[in-house]
Amino acid sequence: MSSRGFFASLLLAGSSCIVAGCSEPPGPTGTNPEELYLHHCAKCHARAGEPGGPNLGGSKGPDLSHIGSATGMTVDWLTEYISNPQSKRPDVRVMPAFNTKMTPEQIKALAEWLAAKK
């Protein structure tokens, strides 16, 4: 490798830290809902046979495998709930707000995917 190539790759490694932040492993950057779910949600909402699989264990959140059939759980409601759960239900204690962790496009993609789970 030329020394120029070496410095260019150092620069790349450094800038990805600035963009994604070094404290947390970088999450998916696209809008693939399954990848987003696995990265952001499965550790609390995983179920056997569901994204995340049984070996992620410890399902603290409610089962979301038929969430689209629940009354009132529309794409819009889910989008707002995932962005900031307390805006919809002031009594929520554990479910984190994701408006600082995902882009609006990512949250929308996830909400559409969940709403289709009937």
What length is written for the chain? 118
In angstroms, the CA 28 to CA 34 distance is: 10
Task: Kindly state the smallest distance separating residue 19's Cβ from ligand HEC, in Å.
Answer: 20
Smallest gap, in angstroms, from Cβ of residue 11 to ligand HEC? 32
Contact predicate 117/111, CB 8 Å: no
Token code pair at residue 79: 């989008």
| Dist CA 51 CA 110 (whole Å) | 13
Which CB atom, from 54 or from 60, has the smaller least distance to ligand HEC?
60
CB atoms within 10 A of CB 56: 17
Kindly list the residues in this chain that would bind ligand HEC in the complex (CB under 6 A): 40-41, 43-45, 60-62, 64, 67, 70, 78, 81-82, 92-96, 98, 110, 114
Give the list of residues 6+ apart from residue 34 with CB closer than 8 angstroms, or none. 51, 113
Q: Which is nearer to ligand HEC, 15 or 74 (CB)?
A: 74
Shortest Å distance, C-beta 22 to ligand HEC: 21
Q: 9 vs 74, which CB is nearer to ligand HEC?
A: 74
CB of 11 or CB of 109, closer to ligand HEC = 109
Nearest distance from C-beta of residue 27 to ligand HEC, angstroms? 10
